[in-house]
Amino acid sequence: MQVYNAPLRDMRFVLNELHNDDGFGDLPGMEEFDTDLTDAVLEEAARFCRDILLPLNRSGDEEGCTHENGVVRTPKGFKDAYDQFTAAGWAALASDPEYGGQGLPEALNKLVEEMICSANLSFSLYPGLTHGGTTAIKGHGSDELKAKWLPKMISGEWSGTMCLTEPHCGTDLGMLRTKAEPRDDGSFKVTGNKIFISAGDHDLAENIVHLVLARLPDAPEGVKGISLFLVPKYMPKDDFSVGPANGVTCTAIEHKMGLKGSATCQMSFDESTGWLVGEPNKGMAAMFTMMNTERVSVGIQGLGVGEAAYQSAVWYAKDRVQGRALSGAKYPEQAADPIIVHPDVRRMLLTMRAYNEGCRALSAWVSRALDAQKHSPDPEVRQRAEEFTALMTPVVKALFTDLATESANLAVQVYGGHGYIRESGVEQYVRDARICQIYEGTNGIQALDLVGRKMGANFGRNLRSFFHPVSNFIEESKGEGPMQPMIEALEKAFGALQLSTATIAQKGMADPEEAGAAATDYLRLLGLVAMGYCFAKATKIAGLQIFFGSANGEEGDKAFYETKIKTATFFFERILPQATASFLAIRSGKKSMMAFTEDEF
């Protein structure tokens, strides 16, 4: 059974308690969002996700999208849910108030995103892609484009897409062939074929605004000759109501492993009218604006699915009675004990739980940096926040989604044979989560981005924006009695990370393949240290709260803090040891992989 209630207490913890000393300020620039307001938003979002989106998750998977006579339809109930979603203003949550958005801090918005993804990942794609599109237009479009297009997109009346991939090129966009020819009126004729376009066509919004990568006639070869165009499905009339069709058609939808409620489209642009977004031949920069936003969001998608998988598995582990506890019957009055009594079942549940809480804590930190980057009055803070988000974007994307697939698979394992049956709902999490490791840049590409670009960039300042807080925390926490084992474990893993960083920097300078060979393990190692840091901080805060009494006196708070410390302990004892395996793998270098000739595979 798919079970989901937003983990509101933990969300408030990572939002209000965990990162207050991170130097990015107090919800920077967002002072009007006090605790009452953020609590209200979280609670309302939780209700919407549970009552409206969750019930459509499995039916959406069973029914899927259809493509008949050129029309793409989403599963039953999606249109109605989308209307309620936009009417309630959820689509406009994080967007600029100048264009009708509600200007919510990312620190809050990402928590709402997580809930939406937990409840219905397929649904989340429709508003999610729109948000990516508005970010690109806002960042790179002319004032005219912004004034015209953003309000309709931000309200959700019109939705958006990112049209990058073509059949022969995904990762290597330099090979793309879609063409854009200038017209006299300043617009362009866009012609070409795109594949894997999420939300490329559907029946939720009255118009769809495609952001399309294409080449101008005189463009240089490769990635330096790519420009970004805004191409609507229907041309707008003068009053920006929906006008005639614009040569944009969905030629097919993909049959996929999962995410079946989200229409993944093959799109054809046939002399479609479009407008340049940003400078000619600078499309990759604009695309990366969109992409970086999306990459963090894809990480959140993973976390969302991981949380739903965890909750569904906990429900089953308490419900399913089978066998007896190894230490003797726990419920002698029943025919058998619930399977949650077993250490190995708990190992699986707590692995998911630790992954989710670790990712949520890390994502809250990154979200605060996203806000600081935009809103902090202090240029030094803005720069540090930018460096930190640059470093963490690939980590959030790849780490969270790798762990989501692990979590979803663990949930199926908790269900046993019943988990393999579609009606249980948990195998859907495995199929849905799987795409998150791939789209918006495969996780291998994220790892290369981390070691190849982000690690060494800005004279190492990106890395220091993360290393400094960690080493400071370790130093100041030494000698604090009950936390010593945690601090020692964190220090050891952090030492392995520092050593690996030095090794990769040194070897990778001379031979980029050495960096490539270390990339995936390095990303995991860094992610483990980051989660470990968050858990250690959380333990410290929780310990103080238990000792001195809860700051806000909320009922049940002591129980929350005690459980937080237990989860952190599990993380340090059972998850962090993975760091050693990554460290040893990194140290071994590229040799064992590159020794193979192609024929030997």
By the rule CB under 8 A, 60 interacts with a copy of itself: no
Contact letters (x/-) for a copy of itself, 166-195, by CB under 8 A? ---xxxx--x-------------------x
Instruction: Using the minimum distance from each CB to a copy of itself, give the nearer residue, 85 or 560.
Output: 560
DSSP 98: G
Instruction: Using the minimum distance from each CB to a copy of itself, give the nearer residue, 161 or 367.
Output: 161
By the rule CB under 8 A, 304 interacts with a copy of itself: no
The candidate with the shortest Cα–Cα distance to 527, out of 406, 438, 411, 430, is 406
The candidate with the shortest Cα–Cα distance to 373, out of 388, 392, 360, 395, is 388
Instruction: Using the minimum distance from each CB to a copy of itself, give the nearer residue, 524 or 537.
Output: 524
- 284: CB partners within 8 A, 6+ apart: 173, 213, 223, 224, 226
By the rule CB under 8 A, 580 interacts with a copy of itself: yes
Residue identified by tokens 């340049």 is 276
By the rule CB under 8 A, 161 interacts with a copy of itself: no
By the rule CB under 8 A, 69 interacts with a copy of itself: no
Residues 322-341 that bind a copy of itself (CB under 8 A): 322-323, 325-327, 335-336, 338, 340
DSSP 572-601: IIIITTHHHHHHHHHHH-SHHHHTS-GGG-
Structure tokens at 169: 């090129």
CB 348 within 8 A of CB 310: no
Instruction: Using the minimum distance from each CB to a copy of itself, give the nearer residue, 34 or 344.
Output: 344
- 410: CB partners within 8 A, 6+ apart: 309, 313, 348, 349, 351, 352
Min dist CB 411 to a copy of itself, Å, is 12
- Half-sphere CA count of 110, side-chain side, radius 13 A: 31
Taking the C-alpha atoms of residue 546 and residue 309, their distance in angstroms, rounded to an integer, is: 30
Min dist CB 38 to a copy of itself, Å, is 25
Residues 466-525 that bind a copy of itself (CB under 8 A): 511-513, 515-517, 519-520
Taking the C-alpha atoms of residue 133 and residue 112, their distance in angstroms, rounded to an integer, is: 19
Residue identified by tokens 């559907």 is 202
Q: Which residues are catalytic?
A: 440
Long-range contacts of 81-88 (CB under 8 A, 24+ apart): 81/52, 81/53, 81/56, 81/123, 82/123, 82/126, 82/127, 82/156, 82/204, 82/205, 84/48, 84/52, 85/48, 85/52, 85/127, 85/156, 86/155, 86/156, 86/157, 88/44, 88/48
By the rule CB under 8 A, 549 interacts with a copy of itself: no
Q: Mark the segment that binds a copy of itself (CB under 8 A) among 46-54, 145-153, 462-470, 559-567.
A: 559-567
- Residue 584 phi/psi, 5° resolution? -65, -40
CB 6 within 8 A of CB 118: yes
One residue of 255, 459, 479, 547 binding a copy of itself per CB under 8 A = 255
By the rule CB under 8 A, 592 interacts with a copy of itself: yes
Contact letters (x/-) for a copy of itself, 400-439, by CB under 8 A? -----x---x--xx--xx-xxxxx---x--xx--xx-xxx
By the rule CB under 8 A, 534 interacts with a copy of itself: no
Residues 229-248 that bind a copy of itself (CB under 8 A): none
One residue of 50, 282, 461, 566 binding a copy of itself per CB under 8 A = 566
Structure tokens at 207: 């118009």
Instruction: Using the minimum distance from each CB to a copy of itself, give the nearer residue, 470 or 518.
Output: 518
Count of residues touching a copy of itself (by CB under 8 A): 92
Min dist CB 412 to a copy of itself, Å, is 7
Min dist CB 163 to a copy of itself, Å, is 14
Q: Mark the segment that binds a copy of itself (CB under 8 A) among 70-78, 207-215, 229-237, 255-263.
A: 255-263
Residue identified by tokens 């997580």 is 114
Instruction: Using the minimum distance from each CB to a copy of itself, give the nearer residue, 16 or 443.
Output: 443
Min dist CB 403 to a copy of itself, Å, is 13
| Cα 400 to the center of its chain, rounded Å | 7
By the rule CB under 8 A, 347 interacts with a copy of itself: yes
